[in-house]
Structure 1
Amino acid sequence: MRKPLVIALVVLLVAGVGGYFGFHLLVDHLARRQVETLFADLRANGVEAQGRDATYDVFSGRFEIRDLSFAAPGQGTLKIASFLATGTERPSPKRLFAKQVEISDLSYEGPLPLAPAVEASYRAPHITINALEIPSTQPAGTRPWQIALDLLEQTSADRISIPESLIITSTGTGSSRIETDVTHGATALEKLLAGRIAKATVEPSRFTIGGAPANAATGKVGRVSVETIDVAALLTLLDPERRLADDQFRTVYGSVNVDGYEVTADAGMRQRWGAIDIRDVAIRPSIIPAEDLLALGNRLREAAAKGEDPSPDVVAQSLRGLAAAYDGIRLGSVVLKDMSARDEDGNKAELAALTMGPLDGGQLENFAIDRLKGSDADGKVFRVDQMKIGGLRPGTLLELGADATEDPHSTQGLSWIMRLFGVVGGFELAGAEAPASAGGDPVVIDKLALSWQGEPDAFPTRIAATLRVSGPTSAFPRDNSLFALVPDGMTRASVALDVGGEWNESQSTLTLAPLYAEVSDAFALSLKVKLKDVDDSVFSTQPDEALAGALAASLDSVEITLSDAGIYERKLEEAAKEQGMEPEAIRQLLAGFAELLFSSTVADRPELEPATQAFVSFLQKPLGTLALKITPRGDSLPLGAIAETLQGDEPLTLVDELNVEVIEAAEPPTSPTKP
């Protein structure tokens, strides 16, 4: 045990602390035998390295050096007022041990290594390391982070204690500038071994946010507990060769628990979370383009230093880099509980829970909020029992953002719009209530659900949608064809909608079912449409190709069920009042006209008589139900031929190509709640 121990301890600090903050040049000199030689070599390579009053007592195993300073151009400055190691010994020819290491007044000024666009200032008045053991042999590797990784993975310590620390960061310019000032409570890192920390705790911290006036705020973070931190896995991202070779997922955080969070903005906004829990965060280093992201971060930092906004090209590249990183990140779950918030206008909200996860393969399986409730400044109440988003792909969203940044006109193209279907796989809203814009009773959404599946960059080949909503009729848009059928005089109505469709590739069929619409006390309409000879061209994002595919498809069948729940009678009364007639007279007039029209049309088609009589009977009696099935008379009836006939001079000749029969009425989906 001689000076190699001294040098190794200093180098450990430089590699572990200085290296963490970006001293790439410094770790090339880990194997120097003399501190003076190390400093001289660093200065010769452009790193300003200084230290004084180095003392070493070989008999007591005590080493101390003061006023350490290391500075590298563009990579910041690390200073240490005092470095003291006691109880040093050599447990084996290749290992060095110190019972305790004490560091006083550590400070750093410069960019963060994994976020070079963020300038940082760090202060730790005192750091204690217990039972530190490091290698005495030359670390493997030729590049800075290779050496740092090798040294870290061969280093162990029982405990690292930081009673208090302060970190100040700044990023952005002008109205987007954000400055943070965070004072951390006592920090303890337990059992450092093979590049992993078994447990870490940070006692409650407080922070302030400044920069642009709109961002000004203060707050605090409760106690943070972390189980398992793989520091080596994170540092692997900074070594290109090691990163590309590391093709397995590595858990960087086993669990993170935060005992609450609060923030109060100067503008009046307040927010609080009761607890935050994060589980199983893992990375696959080979997938994450760390070098590209760091280079882009430097370009963003350079633009900010000049007071300039980054170019669209840099922004687009950054978005694409982040999009690619999502494929290399895996997440078990994130749960945030017991949120309360109030904004400067007096709007208030409470949320029981927000959950996310798992994230795997670039897809977030579930994002959900539970039991959201609140009120606006006027005291009007809103609530959402549950909202879910399934199959969310953040990377795809970032890619779309990159395309829009490079070419804003691309968002007007059908192919860009179709890619939006790849961003999310489904959405569900249940138990939502909000005040109507016109006042009065609230609008209530019992259920809103959307889901779809399909190939990327194409129309979905399976889709399902459901809506159950009720509210004052004044809240429904009267220019919408469905809501326009809400009977006059009703003050509140319920509406139900169901839309479904699925393409069967093996059978070349497309079934649209259910197609259902219902307005309470008005009507219900159910359709089932089946097409055949449908190929994948129908789902193309090229309009001409999709149209040609649709016109080439053939009709297989249409089933329709129409139920009158009061709208027919109401409309007859309105018409009778306008014409000065009795409603019954108008009903018989309509029925007679229909019978006359169809009798001449189907004179040569007696098999259509039951369907004709069913339609006439439906017109003659209110609150009736009409159920029919329509099929082609021949083997094939292309949609193109149907469209051509309907646009021709004699559209009723289409009846000659169809069979129409009376069927049992279809069972409706769950009806909307009656108002």
Structure 2
Amino acid sequence: MRLLHRSGVCALALLAGTAALQFEPAVVPDLVVGSDGRHLSVGAVRVPLWSAALAQTPETFSLENVRFGFGSATYEAKRIDLAGVTSSRADIEALLSSSSSQPFAERLAKVSARQISIPELRVRQTIGPETQETTHRNVVLTDIVQGRIGQASAETTGAAISDSRTTFSVSYGRMTVSDVDLPTFTRLYETKASDASAPLARIHGAFSIDDINLVDKDGASIKVARIEGRDFMGRPTKDSWAGTTELFAQLGAKDDLSADEEARFVSVLAEFLTAFDIGHVEASGFELKDVSEGSTGRIRRLAYTAATGSQPADARAEGFEVADKNGAVRIETLSLTGFSIKPTLEALKSTSPEALRELDPTAMRALLPTLGTLRVAGIDIDTLNKDEGRKPDRVKATVREFEFTADQPFKAVPTNIRLGFRNLAMALPAESQEDGIKDLIALGYQNLDLSFMLAASWNEVTSELTLREVSAEGRDMGSVNLTGTLSNVSRDVFDPDTAVASVALVDAKAKSVDLTVQNAGLFERYLDKTAKEQKTTPESLRRTYGTAAAVAIPAIIGNSDQAKTLSQAIARFIAKPGRLTINAQAKDPNGLGVADLMTLTEPADALRKLNITAKVE
């Protein structure tokens, strides 16, 4: 019996000892740290009893009632659990020390752990009049090595954003982000940059957010199925990110800004916008709804890819649609490639706040961004036109593609231009009173299908401006195409001083011009309509117009060989409309300039300075 008694006592002692070792005493209560706009308070640091008793470096410990403030943001967590901690006890104590002289980023760089879990994290941030309160649930950080997080995730997130005018709520599904460099991220907020052009540092790798829902107090809502991206980059600003954010908050709280404050805000904003970039980000499955307006919208995909080496920056929207009770507008693809606002931001950064208030033409031109190429494809419009004073009518139109290119800038002026659209198609309103539309209907057209293109570029080496294309085309109408070359277009044409630019432009010389006219039905329709009005036949009109061209053109521009060549070609084209091609070359290899034309008294004199060829097919 005595043996059983002793065995029972030992067993109870073992159970009690095991329970005691699982107990987590508070080894550091009520910790408060604060400096340089940053504060940290911890209600208690709890470690397993055995670690506390033996003064060991704990592999597992918990922080309770944690509150961390940085700039205008405050983070709160009732409990943070750390497991698999491999950092030394001294490093952990230094992280939470109020007397450490090390920057916080350096202390974070000494933290390594297998996992950090936060059941609930609350964040409150104020920027100007706007306040954002966010709650993240089940936050888990894994594989932390020297402050760098292998992966961070949150199961769900809810946020409320409000200002003096409105309030809206946001919720997210699962969020993940990989390769988070926490020390580098912290340096952005606590470090003031000595060099505003320092290279961007990588803050984190890939990230994703699922099931985003945004609803405002009036019932308007936005849903996004998923946002994902990679490679967020950043560098410190002159006042640090914390200081810059605080400045935005101060200025945003004011109803009116002075001229100095406006200039300072623009300058600081420009610096901040150049202090970060992202390699790629895209969002898919947009759904927008406005209950009060009865309108809806969808975007299949939004994406942005930063410029890398020879690859230009690219932003695009795909599958865009807006609809209400009156109709809908759809765009299949909208893209902007090769754009850059860097010239604008760099100019703003290097211009003092005082100089921003009074910009001269040179400084204003330096603020121009590089547009690149804007393309809009698959435009489909079907809606009501409700112009005041008119009966509503249905507007239906489609555009296959619209393009605008403005790049290769010289002195901030684009030297490569391309502007045009293809297949603008629409039905002509039968009851329209517009003169041009009435005339087309009278010619028998019920629908229009038009295309237009203008393309030109300047070559600095040859000082030539090439008109690559000026064309217009209509289905069942015909087409016109013009090309040409101007020489002696010097760099001074792009001078900000308009007087200098004007003088330089006068020195430009035309070297060659090519014109092609293709008939595809417009001429015949015109003859039929005019013949009916004049009570004659189209063939009679054709002979009359052809004869008139052969006689009238030489009478106007002279009887030179060039005039005869031109008039005979036009007359043959009228007699049998097909394809007319005219080429004019300056006899002087340097071209024919404005100054040359100003000395001429008759049109015939100009023709004598040209070699003209023309043919009809």
Deviation at 1:186, TM superposition (A): 0.8
Match of 2:228 in 1: 277
Deviation at 1:230, TM superposition (A): 0.1
Deviates more, 1:269-278 or 1:464-473: 464-473
Match of 2:595 in 1: 641
1:200 matches 2:200: no
SS in 1 for 2:325: coil
Deviation at 1:223, TM superposition (A): 0.6
C-alpha distance 643-472 of structure 1, shift in aligned 2 (>3 A): farther
Residue pair 2:161, 2:169 contacting (<8 A) in 1 also: yes
Letter in 1 for 2:588: G
Letter in 2 for 1:199: Q
C-alpha distance 564-61 of structure 1, shift in aligned 2 (>3 A): closer
Within 2, Cα distance between the matches of 1:539 and 1:203?
A: 57
C-alpha distance 259-600 of structure 1, shift in aligned 2 (>3 A): closer
Residue pair 1:629, 1:663 contacting (<8 A) in 2 also: no
Within 2, Cα distance between the matches of 1:88 and 1:545?
A: 85
Within 1, Cα distance between the matches of 2:494 and 2:197?
A: 40
Residue pair 2:66, 2:79 contacting (<8 A) in 1 also: yes
Match of 1:82 in 2: 44
Match of 1:184 in 2: 136
Q: 2:573 aligns with which of 598, 618, 626?
A: 618
Match of 1:39 in 2: none
SS in 1 for 2:239: helix
C-alpha distance 514-182 of structure 1, shift in aligned 2 (>3 A): same
1:104 matches 2:104: no
Deviation by residue 1:15-54 (Cα, 9 ceiling, x = unmatched): xxxxxxxxxxxxxxxxxxxxxxxxxxxxxxxxxxxxxxxx
C-alpha distance 290-602 of structure 1, shift in aligned 2 (>3 A): closer
Q: 1:467 aligns with which of 421, 443, 459?
A: 421
Deviation at 1:226, TM superposition (A): 1.2
C-alpha distance 614-171 of structure 1, shift in aligned 2 (>3 A): same
Match of 1:11 in 2: none
Deviates more, 1:401-410 or 1:603-612: 401-410
SS in 2 for 1:323: helix
Match of 1:147 in 2: 103
Within 1, Cα distance between the matches of 2:319 and 2:371?
A: 22
TM-score normalised to structure 1 length: 0.75
Write the mapping of 1:223-234 to structure 2, written as runs, cut at 5 A.
223-234=174-185
Letter in 2 for 1:84: R
1:632 matches 2:586: yes
Deviation at 1:359, TM superposition (A): 4.3
Residue pair 2:297, 2:320 contacting (<8 A) in 1 also: yes
Match of 1:12 in 2: none
SS in 2 for 1:392: coil
Within 2, Cα distance between the matches of 1:574 and 1:531?
A: 40
* 5+ long unaligned stretches in structure 2: 1-19, 386-392
Deviation by residue 1:258-313 (Cα, 9 ceiling, x = unmatched): 12201111212111111111112233x3xx424265444434434456x4444443
Deviation at 1:498, TM superposition (A): 1.6
C-alpha distance 600-243 of structure 1, shift in aligned 2 (>3 A): closer
C-alpha distance 377-619 of structure 1, shift in aligned 2 (>3 A): same
SS in 1 for 2:58: strand
Deviation at 1:89, TM superposition (A): 6.2
Match of 1:510 in 2: 465
Residue pair 1:159, 1:192 contacting (<8 A) in 2 also: yes
Write the mapping of 1:217-366 to structure 2, written as runs, cut at 5 A.
217-238=168-189, 240=191, 249-283=200-234, 285=235, 288-291=236-239, 294-303=242-251, 307-343=254-290, 344-359=292-307, 365-366=313-314
Letter in 2 for 1:282: M
Within 2, Cα distance between the matches of 1:331 and 1:649?
A: 63
Deviation at 1:609, TM superposition (A): 3.0
Give the count of matched residue pairs: 579
Residue pair 2:189, 2:242 contacting (<8 A) in 1 also: no
Letter in 2 for 1:198: G
Within 1, Cα distance between the matches of 2:273 and 2:580?
A: 53
SS in 2 for 1:259: strand
Residue pair 1:261, 1:272 contacting (<8 A) in 2 also: yes
Deviation at 1:372, TM superposition (A): 1.9
Letter in 1 for 2:103: I
Within 1, Cα distance between the matches of 2:536 and 2:358?
A: 58
C-alpha distance 363-89 of structure 1, shift in aligned 2 (>3 A): farther
1:447 matches 2:398: no
Within 1, Cα distance between the matches of 2:274 and 2:378?
A: 34
Residue pair 2:464, 2:485 contacting (<8 A) in 1 also: yes
C-alpha distance 599-267 of structure 1, shift in aligned 2 (>3 A): same
Within 2, Cα distance between the matches of 1:301 and 1:241?
A: 18
* 5+ long unaligned stretches in structure 1: 1-56, 666-675
Within 2, Cα distance between the matches of 1:86 and 1:534?
A: 82
Deviation at 1:583, TM superposition (A): 5.1
Deviation at 1:557, TM superposition (A): 0.7
Within 2, Cα distance between the matches of 1:79 and 1:139?
A: 14
Letter in 1 for 2:126: S
Deviation at 1:431, TM superposition (A): 0.9
Deviation at 1:582, TM superposition (A): 5.5
Letter in 2 for 1:156: S
Match of 2:113 in 1: 157
Match of 2:15 in 1: none
1:545 matches 2:500: yes
Deviation by residue 1:471-493 (Cα, 9 ceiling, x = unmatched): 13459x99999x99856452320
SS in 2 for 1:97: coil
Deviation at 1:384, TM superposition (A): 1.3
Letter in 2 for 1:154: K
SS in 2 for 1:595: helix
1:66 matches 2:29: yes
1:501 matches 2:456: yes
Match of 2:489 in 1: 534
Deviation at 1:543, TM superposition (A): 2.4
SS in 1 for 2:589: coil
C-alpha distance 145-192 of structure 1, shift in aligned 2 (>3 A): farther
Within 1, Cα distance between the matches of 2:140 and 2:279?
A: 25
Root-mean-square deviation over aligned CA pairs: 4.1
- What fraction of aligned residue pairs are identical, expressed as a percent? 20
Within 2, Cα distance between the matches of 1:429 and 1:246?
A: 35
Residue pair 2:189, 2:240 contacting (<8 A) in 1 also: no
Deviation at 1:83, TM superposition (A): 2.4
Deviation at 1:399, TM superposition (A): 6.5
Within 2, Cα distance between the matches of 1:507 and 1:499?
A: 21
Within 1, Cα distance between the matches of 2:215 and 2:163?
A: 15
C-alpha distance 466-406 of structure 1, shift in aligned 2 (>3 A): farther
Residue pair 1:347, 1:375 contacting (<8 A) in 2 also: yes
Deviation at 1:202, TM superposition (A): 0.6
Write the mapping of 1:565-584 to structure 2, written as runs, cut at 5 A.
565-572=520-527, 575=530, 584=539
SS in 2 for 1:440: strand
Deviates more, 1:487-496 or 1:192-201: 487-496
Write the mapping of 1:380-419 to structure 2, written as runs, cut at 5 A.
380-396=327-343, 416=364
Within 2, Cα distance between the matches of 1:201 and 1:347?
A: 35
Within 1, Cα distance between the matches of 2:297 and 2:110?
A: 50
Write the mapping of 1:35-50 to structure 2, written as runs, cut at 5 A.
none
Deviation at 1:71, TM superposition (A): 6.0
1:168 matches 2:168: no
Residue pair 1:363, 1:393 contacting (<8 A) in 2 also: no
Within 2, Cα distance between the matches of 1:435 and 1:413?
A: 43
Within 2, Cα distance between the matches of 1:312 and 1:630?
A: 56
1:423 matches 2:370: yes
Residue pair 1:487, 1:570 contacting (<8 A) in 2 also: no
SS in 1 for 2:205: strand
Within 1, Cα distance between the matches of 2:195 and 2:588?
A: 62
Residue pair 2:563, 2:607 contacting (<8 A) in 1 also: no
